[in-house]
Amino acid sequence: MRRNLKCIITDIGGVCISNAYATMSETLKRRFGTDQSLAFGILIGEAVAFDSGHVTVDEFSIRVLSRLGLKIDVGEFISIMDSSEVPNRDVWNLLQRVRATGSARIIALSNMPEHTWNMLNRTYGLGTLFDGAVLSYAVGVVKPERRIFEMAIEASGTSAGNCLFVDDAPENVAAAEKQCIVSHLFRDADCLAEFLKDNGVMSRG
């Protein structure tokens, strides 16, 4: 382990890109009159199997549509899902600045299905933000399980004490802190920048 190497371990959804399921639930309400809270809860619940690679994108879509009682085409549902994944350009610019200085490696740690990862790479080049990625669909484990954080620390190339963790979910931040990783509950790019400055990854100049 290289003791002085810094590594930012960051979530993707809700940090680097929009919270897709929140956006989807709003879209489904606007277009089809579905109950927004119900839709969000169903999406989150069904996402566990989807994110961990146990169901395909078609199977995920069919499950959600069936539970919502929506009579729309699976392809239309997937299109709504894909269009809900929008980059947070302020965060992207921040991470690109960090990588450009060489002050820290950046590892993605995300509960993300293969379909979404491939779509984001194809559409936006998401993978170019990171030096590596630990993705739930590939490892079969989801946050906040301990094992996926251990995988991320291993991928970082350094110790937990030299890592910083960023996520928009309090339960994931709490899980990272149990691994002795200094962590930040994401709200916006400005607060993230202050966190990185406070931890010596970005300068205040």
Residue 61: per-residue pLDDT: 98
Q: How far apart are the C-alpha atoms of 75 and 72, rounded to whole Å?
A: 8
Q: Tell me the per-residue pLDDT of 55-108, one tens digit each, with 9 for 90 and over.
A: 999 999 999 999 999 999 999 999 999 999 999 999 999 999 999 999 899 999
Concatenating the DSSP letter of every residue in 28-50 gives: HHHHH---HHHHHHHHHHHHHHH
* DSSP tag of 200: T
User: What confidence tier does 111 reach under pLDDT thresholds 50, 70, 90?
Assistant: very high
Given this structure, which CATH class describes domain 7-18+87-198?
A: alpha beta
Q: How far apart are the C-alpha atoms of 187 and 53, rounded to whole Å?
A: 28
Q: Tell me the per-residue pLDDT of 151-197, one tens digit each, with 9 for 90 and over.
A: 999 999 999 999 999 999 999 999 999 999 999 999 999 999 999 99
Tell me: cis bond preceding 170? Omega within 30 of 0 counts: no
Q: Tell me the per-residue pLDDT of 119-128, one tens digit each, with 9 for 90 and over.
A: 999 999 999 9
